[in-house]
Amino acid sequence: MLPPVEGASAASGLFGPGSLDKEDFLRLLVTQLQYQDPLDPLDAQDFASQLAEFTALEQQLNTNQLIEQQIEMTSASMVESQNSVAIGLIGNGIVADGDHVELTGEAGDAAYIHTSGPATVTIEILDASGSVVLTTSVAVTEDGLHRVDLGSASDDLAAGHYTLSVEVAAGVEGTTARPLASGVVQGVRWGDDGPVLVVGDTEVPLSGVLEITNGQETHEP
């Protein structure tokens, strides 16, 4: 006669930790009933206890499967949503982490910066060779993202992509400034970590987008 199986813990000892599923548990119970001694049958209370453990095990497995399905559905929904947002950005201007700026050489060109507080900031535009082709300054009165209109100073620049450099004026303590990338989204590719926006000759992950621009206004994505 097979020795009585004392619940899931004993069965796990036979099959190894974490390897017992509900089919294994059921087979153990059936086998135990088949080979029990007719003169000394399995105690009804022990049998009821094992059935209760089997039911609890089955419910737990079903719950785990349901949770896994919900996670998969949520993940798929998030991916679909991100892809939809990325495709919808094609043809729109964005501001993102980085230092590349796309200029048109026409009125309305702007650069974007972020400051940690009020300051006067010097902005330099550099071409592909690293030469400074435009310098301007702006006084900001609060922290956050700022749009800096380049005015007619950029009219003589050829349309294309440039690098932005910023520096806080001397004498301003505790305030920092950093350049931000800006340009029009021309396409989308899908990377390992999600959609990547193609902005001219640079690429920006969707997660790096800080603002969606429209003329002189900025909008959070």
CA nearest to 165, candidates 92, 100, 88, 104: 100
**What's the pLDDT at 109?**
87
Q: What confidence tier does 12 reach under pLDDT thresholds 50, 70, 90?
A: very low
**C-beta separation of 158 from 146 below 8 A:** no
Residue with token string 């932005």: 164
DSSP structure string for 144-194: EEEEEE-GGGGTTSPSEEEEEEEEEPTT--S--EEEEEEEE--EEEEETTE
DSSP structure string for 24-47: HHHHHHHHHHHTSBTTBPPPHHHH
Neighbours of 154 (CB within 10 A): 24
**What are 182's strand-pairing partners?**
95, 101
Sequence length of the chain is 221
The rounded distance, in Å, linking the Cα atoms of 194 and 56 is 39
**What's the pLDDT at 150?**
86
* pLDDT average, residue stretch 178-207: 88
Position 202 pLDDT exceeds 70: yes
Position 30 pLDDT exceeds 90: no
Stronger pLDDT, 10 or 130, i.e. the higher one: 130
pLDDT digits (tens, 9 = 90+) for 73-109: 777 677 778 888 889 899 999 999 999 998 887 777 8
* CATH numeric code, 90-219: 2.60.40.4070
* pLDDT average, residue stretch 120-140: 91
**What are 61's strand-pairing partners?**
none
**What's the pLDDT at 214?**
66
Position 216 pLDDT exceeds 50: no
**What are 24's strand-pairing partners?**
none
Position 190 pLDDT exceeds 90: no
Position 200 pLDDT exceeds 60: yes
Amino acid at 112: Y
pLDDT digits (tens, 9 = 90+) for 204-215: 898 889 998 864
**C-beta separation of 117 from 219 below 8 A:** no
**C-beta separation of 115 from 176 below 8 A:** yes
**What's the pLDDT at 41?**
63
**What's the pLDDT at 39?**
62
**C-beta separation of 178 from 97 below 8 A:** no
**What's the pLDDT at 27?**
76
pLDDT digits (tens, 9 = 90+) for 151-182: 777 878 888 889 999 999 876 778 899 999 99
Domains of the chain, by residue range, sit at 7-87, 90-219
Most confident of 10-14, 18-22, 27-31, 154-158: 154-158
The CA distances from residue 93 to 51, 76, 99, 102, 170, in Å, are 64, 27, 15, 10, 32
